[in-house]
Chains A and B, each alone.
Chain A
């Protein structure tokens, strides 16, 4: 139940990929028939991805994953020798965005990190007010990986458009969970990742709307129209294409199924455990995300006890060598000290069953009870 971390590769995806390892292993840049086979596979996958998000095939750049896509979008708009630029992002972005922005700052560019409210929604008025003369990009994630809050992407895109600024969104968590259409949302650039949607690891996409000017960050043999050099990972890209088709076909069924399970877990835990809170937004939330905080217990110890019962989850609390630290996302939501260290993220996938749900709820109740017995903070 840690699908926001990664997902198993669908068997249909594996089947689609297999011929491209040893049989059709060509380099898509080669002019002979082996190369042509690879080039054809590449073009099919490009169309599959484009169709799934309402884009044109030529607007799809294949990368090594979400992190590289975020890097390319953000570093790509800061073109060489163009002077000091300003970028706007949010405080709850993935490290792939935050650390790229920190790098830009180290080069002398400016970045504004717009805060979020207690439910994780970006404060639109502050976002608009932070726009400057030299702002070139707004980058705000579609849905948050920890607390699952879905941002008002359409509104943000409109603000960007009004001020003639590019808008990039990291949609790594939202693709396959909620509808993502680049025209409906008004997005200029979008990052997505294959392994979050039952595709293979090591492949991703940056969608770049026609007319959006960016520079590459990887140079070489001018693959992907010079935007991302390096021989294409054909098996991976074929897998991603297939995974996108499946995600699109199953979107309605899967998201309804996961949402039911999500709401079931939340209500069962609230009914049976005291001193618990839901982190993130109650409704503007990914259908597969449950993020709960339990008073008097610490997240990592819950995680380990659940792991011993065969359940994989994650936590926003990490015990480092210095101190017990809450994640940057939870810290940004102004969660009280009593709750901030006791967070648990349960991220569901389509292969989770009703039995899994019941087992999780029972195991979690037991785990929290056991740890509260040990906790000096609890009177239990």
Chain B
């Protein structure tokens, strides 16, 4: 949890109008996600999926991280209450944006 100050990539998703806001920052070394942190405004599901996405992404290569699916996150959390699966997608999207941000900067 938190923000990596000298992050290599940052992804943010959401707005106060829709509600949830998820910010994910990553540190990359040799194509591997060395560190990843989140900050989330939202319900418990948004917070817990953000946390789980950072757990899952840490130590993975960029390709592996990009291959993570909604289902992987939900399975890792042992399932989500009905109607709440939308948030898990949000956290993944934020991670993918952070990776895109890194890739864009390092073209």
Rounded to whole Å, the gap between the CB of B65 and the closest CB of chain A is 20
Say whether B16 contacts A301, CB under 8 Å: no
Question: In the complex, what distance in Å separates the CA atom of A376 from the CA atom of B38?
Answer: 9
Question: In the complex, what distance in Å separates the CA atom of A296 from the CA atom of B43?
Answer: 12
Rounded to whole Å, the gap between the CB of A49 and the closest CB of chain B is 39
Residues of A within 8 A of B (CB): 296-298, 300-301, 304-305, 317, 319-325, 337-338, 341, 373-377
Beyond the given pairs A301-B42, A337-B17, 15 more chain A to chain B contacts, judged by CB atoms under 8 angstroms and listed by A's residue number, are A298-B43, A301-B43, A301-B46, A304-B44, A319-B43, A319-B87, A321-B83, A324-B42, A341-B16, A373-B2, A375-B39, A376-B3, A376-B39, A377-B16, A377-B41
Rounded to whole Å, the gap between the CB of A20 and the closest CB of chain B is 39
B38 contact set on A, CB distance < 8 A: 374
Say whether A319 contacts B16, CB under 8 Å: no
Question: In the complex, what distance in Å separates the CA atom of A329 from the CA atom of B87?
Answer: 25
B46 contact set on A, CB distance < 8 A: 298, 301, 319
Q: Are A298 and B39 CB-contacts (below 8 A) given A319-B87, A320-B83?
A: no
B84 at the interface (CB under 8 A from A): yes
B45 at the interface (CB under 8 A from A): yes
Rounded to whole Å, the gap between the CB of B23 and the closest CB of chain A is 4
A-contact 0/1 string along B76-107, CB 8 Å cutoff: 00000001111100000000000000000000
A317 contact set on B, CB distance < 8 A: 19, 43
Question: In the complex, what distance in Å separates the CA atom of A301 from the CA atom of B19?
Answer: 12
Across the interface, A297 reaches (CB within 8 A) one of B18, B23, B41, B85, namely B41
Question: In the complex, what distance in Å separates the CA atom of A346 from the CA atom of B93?
Answer: 35
B39 contact set on A, CB distance < 8 A: 374-376
Across the interface, A374 reaches (CB within 8 A) one of B17, B40, B43, B85, namely B40
B87 contact set on A, CB distance < 8 A: 319
Instruction: Tell me the nearest residue of chain A to B16, going by C-beta.
Output: A337
Question: In the complex, what distance in Å separates the CA atom of A297 from the CA atom of B18?
Answer: 14
Say whether A323 contacts B44, CB under 8 Å: no
Question: In the complex, what distance in Å separates the CA atom of A300 from the CA atom of B20?
Answer: 11
B12 at the interface (CB under 8 A from A): yes
Rounded to whole Å, the gap between the CB of A260 and the closest CB of chain B is 32
A297 contact set on B, CB distance < 8 A: 41
Say whether A324 contacts B86, CB under 8 Å: no
Which of B22, B23, B40, B41 is most buried by chain A, counting CB atoms within 10 A of its CB? B41
Say whether A376 contacts B41, CB under 8 Å: yes
B53 at the interface (CB under 8 A from A): no
A376 contact set on B, CB distance < 8 A: 3, 12, 21-23, 39-41
A325 contact set on B, CB distance < 8 A: 19
Across the interface, A338 reaches (CB within 8 A) one of B1, B16, B47, namely B16
Say whether A324 contacts B40, CB under 8 Å: no
Which 3 A-B pairs give the minimum distances between C-beta atoms? A324-B19, A319-B43, A376-B39
Say whether A323 contacts B18, CB under 8 Å: yes
Q: What are 6 A-B pairs at a CB distance below 8 A?
A: A301-B42, A317-B19, A319-B19, A337-B17, A376-B41, A377-B41
A341 contact set on B, CB distance < 8 A: 16, 19
Instruction: Tell me the nearest residue of chain B to A297, going by C-beta.
Output: B41
A320 contact set on B, CB distance < 8 A: 83
Rounded to whole Å, the gap between the CB of B21 and the closest CB of chain A is 5
Say whether B18 contacts A296, CB under 8 Å: no
Across the interface, B41 reaches (CB within 8 A) one of A296, A305, A323, namely A296
Instruction: Tell me the nearest residue of chain B to A299, going by C-beta.
Output: B43
Question: In the complex, what distance in Å separates the CA atom of A324 from the CA atom of B16?
Answer: 9
A338 contact set on B, CB distance < 8 A: 16
A337 contact set on B, CB distance < 8 A: 16-17
Question: In the complex, what distance in Å separates the CA atom of A201 from the CA atom of B21?
Answer: 39
Instruction: Tell me the nearest residue of chain B to A325, going by C-beta.
Output: B19
Instruction: Tell me the nearest residue of chain B to A308, going by C-beta.
Output: B44
Say whether A321 contacts B84, CB under 8 Å: yes
Question: In the complex, what distance in Å separates the CA atom of A298 from the CA atom of B45?
Answer: 11
Q: Are A324 and B84 CB-contacts (below 8 A) given A319-B46, A376-B40?
A: no
Rounded to whole Å, the gap between the CB of B63 and the closest CB of chain A is 27
Q: Are A321 and B86 CB-contacts (below 8 A) given A337-B17, A341-B16?
A: yes
Question: In the complex, what distance in Å separates the CA atom of A366 from the CA atom of B17?
Answer: 26
Instruction: Tell me the nearest residue of chain A to B23, going by C-beta.
Output: A376
Rounded to whole Å, the gap between the CB of A302 and the closest CB of chain B is 9
Say whether A298 contacts B17, CB under 8 Å: no
A304 contact set on B, CB distance < 8 A: 43-44
Question: In the complex, what distance in Å separates the CA atom of A319 from the CA atom of B14?
Answer: 14
Say whether A298 contacts B41, CB under 8 Å: yes
A324 contact set on B, CB distance < 8 A: 18-20, 42-43
